[in-house]
Amino acid sequence: MKTFDLISMCFRNLFRRKMRTILTVLGVVIGTCAIIVTISLGLGMTKIQEDALAQMGDLTKIEIYNYGGGGGSGSSEAPVLDDKVLKQISELEGVEVATPLARADWSAMEFWVGEKFRFSGQVVGIYPEAMEKLGYQMKEGSYLTEGTGKKIPIVMGEQAAYNFYNVKKRDGWVYPYPDANGNIPDPYVDVMKDEITLRIGRQDEEKTKLVEYETQVQGVLVADFSKGWETQESIFMSIDDMNRMVAEYKKLNKIKESSNSSKGYENAVVKCSDIKYVESVESYISETLGLQTNSMESIRKPMQKQIQQQSMILGGLGLISLVVAAIGITNTMVMSIYERTREIGIMKVLGCEIPNIRAMFLTEAGIIGLLGGIVGTLVSFSISWVINNWEMIKMALGIMSDGSSGGFGMMGGMMGMGGGGQVSLIPPWLVLVAVLFGILIGLVSGFTPANRAVKISALEAIKHD
């Protein structure tokens, strides 16, 4: 039997009893809708949760602290966060970059424009290649590069220019706040044009020889607190340049390292290529290396677990609907076989092969599942649109947000939890899975009735009234 003939025959058989077929398909539609909408709500709420957390900080970033403490597993020594350890971390699966985020002693380096304007802020040392990978955006200029000589490359935070104050005035600050006319005053210094001199800090100006370096401002960052407050107020330089400047400062001022001083860097940052790697990387750093860590994973995981639990409960209800739909398909096919027993007998007498008879009934069941899956998906898109646009629909219908229109107020409150985001997300893969699952439900439900049909005796079937 040709495939086209098989399918056309199945459609004719199904629509002999239109109402029964429609009601059976409706059961699959309800079950499919329940599953799709439930999963879409889980996906939507997960996306909203991750977007909200992303505003608080980078979800793929792990901060490392080395303020002392025990060593890694089986080690009695304190961990050392140095370049060797950071290289080891950078080679882990899913790690995009691992860099120190070292903060120099406030007295170690001074930045001056002439003899009048002095920088009062934090200096941060970093691997130059890490800035772009950490997601820092440039407002002006280019990213940091390694120094090649006496000129020290630096990158400024967006508001770092306002940290230059006039040492000749009692209150020599310019604040980046609008005045009475709404205008924000310019800082004293244009960091991209003015010459900025780096001086090694002095504890005793009379006894310590002054050392100066020229700097090259390569760019200005866009302030982004999710990437760190440093992007607003600090000066960035290569970690090698910083270590060299700090070492020179200590040498000039005859500062000796104490035996209790911490080794390595106190702070570092690890950037993962995807959220899925954060947990394993953070676990390795804290448990194997014995370093203190912090990331958004400690907040994200419990929230995600709660959403998954809610989705599983709702998904269970949807699964029950599909089970009921499967029973409906089975019932429809059994009734169809009972009504068409004589037809089955005639088909056998005329020489129709057993596999073709089985294929006919399985195809009918599969078509019911396919129709239910397609219609259920279309209805799910409609439900998803209503959920995502509920506030707009309320406004169009004139429904007050104070709940004065009965149940609509509560419904609006639930659907408005997204805060403007999409509460319900239906990705393409979910549509495909839903349709295939509908077909699978149909085939599984029709398997037993189809086997029953092929076992009917031809002679008894012909005698059946």
Q: Where in the chain is the domain with CATH 3.30.70.330?
A: 59-100+265-295
Mapped onto helix, strand or coil, the DSSP state of residue 57 is coil
Per-residue pLDDT of the chain (465 residues; tens, 9 = 90+): 577 767 787 777 777 778 888 888 888 888 888 888 888 888 888 788 777 766 666 788 999 988 654 444 444 466 789 999 999 999 999 999 999 999 988 888 889 999 999 998 899 999 999 999 999 999 999 999 987 767 899 999 999 999 999 999 888 899 988 888 889 999 999 999 999 999 986 666 655 567 889 999 999 999 988 788 889 999 999 999 999 998 888 888 888 776 545 568 989 999 999 988 999 999 999 999 989 998 877 777 777 777 777 777 777 777 787 787 778 878 777 777 777 677 777 777 777 777 777 888 788 888 888 998 899 999 999 998 988 888 788 777 775 444 554 444 444 444 444 445 688 888 899 899 888 888 888 888 888 877 777 777 666 656 655
The string of DSSP codes covering 354-389 is HHHHHHHHHHHHHHHHHHHHHHHHHHHHHHHHHHHT
Position of tokens 């901060």? 63
Exposed, middle or buried by CB within 10 Å (0-12, 13-18, 19+), for 390? buried
What are 296's two structure tokens?
């958004």
Other beta carbons within 10 angstroms of residue 442's beta carbon come to 30
Question: 329: which DSSP letter?
Answer: H
Biggest CA–CA distance in the chain, Å, is 122
Exposed, middle or buried by CB within 10 Å (0-12, 13-18, 19+), for 90? middle
Predicted local confidence at residue 415, as pLDDT: 45
User: How far apart are the C-alpha atoms of 34 and 32, rounded to whole Å?
Assistant: 5
The string of DSSP codes covering 449-462 is HHHHHHTS-HHHHH
Number of residues in the chain: 465
Q: Which residues pair with 64 in a beta bridge?
A: 268, 293
**Residue 430: which H helix or E strand, with range?**
helix 428-454
Position of tokens 């209503």? 386
Q: What topology is assigned to 59-100+265-295 in CATH?
A: Alpha-Beta Plaits (3.30.70)
List CB contacts of 264: < 8 A, sequence separation 6 or more. Answer: 66, 80, 81, 82, 85
Other beta carbons within 10 angstroms of residue 465's beta carbon come to 4
Which of 62, 61, 80 has the alpha carbon at shortest distance from 72?
Answer: 80
Mapped onto helix, strand or coil, the DSSP state of residue 284 is helix
User: How far apart are the C-alpha atoms of 443 and 330, rounded to whole Å?
Assistant: 10
